[in-house]
Amino acid sequence: MLCDEVKLEKKRERERLWRENNRDRVRASQEKWRLNNLEEDRANKRRHARKAYWDNPEKARAYGRAQGRRLHLKRKYGICEVDVQWLLLQQGGRCAVCQTGDFKPNVDHCHVSGRVRGVVCIRCNTLVGYLETTPPAVLCAATEYIKSCQN
């Protein structure tokens, strides 16, 4: 029995060394298998992701949130988290509109050109979005309404 285990261990070591020395061939073989077995490959990836999630759900959720934000910033604004931090640093760590220092950064952008204007708090981001799309006559009427209610 012991002899069989030693032989098996030696065989595994030879196979490991062969894979190490023939990485290109191994990769090509794996890619060929993936292309011929797309459904099984997808099922394996789903199974692995599910297992990784249940092994450490908090870590998986945190990774998913960070990954989601990264993809959102790249897809919608063409920037990354480092760019957001740089903009925030340029603004002195404060909202570009109300100058609040303690806030979750929201990227403000022009809805017409898509150009990023700065980093603002959620309230100012909502406000700027409304101001940008509201006709001037409505803004004047809203200002007059607020003034009349203050008296």
pLDDT digits (tens, 9 = 90+) for 86-114: 999 999 999 998 988 888 889 999 888 88
Contact 87, 116 (CB under 8 A): yes
Sign of CA dihedral 82, 83, 89, 93: negative
The answer to whether the pTM exceeds 0.95 is no
Q: Is the pLDDT of residue 148 over 70?
A: yes
CATH placement of domain 80-151: 3.40.1800.10
Q: Tell me which range, 11-20, 45-54, 122-131, is most confidently predicted by mean pLDDT.
A: 11-20
User: What are the residues whose beta carbons fall under 8 Å from the beta carbon of 94, sequence distance 6 or more?
Assistant: 100, 101
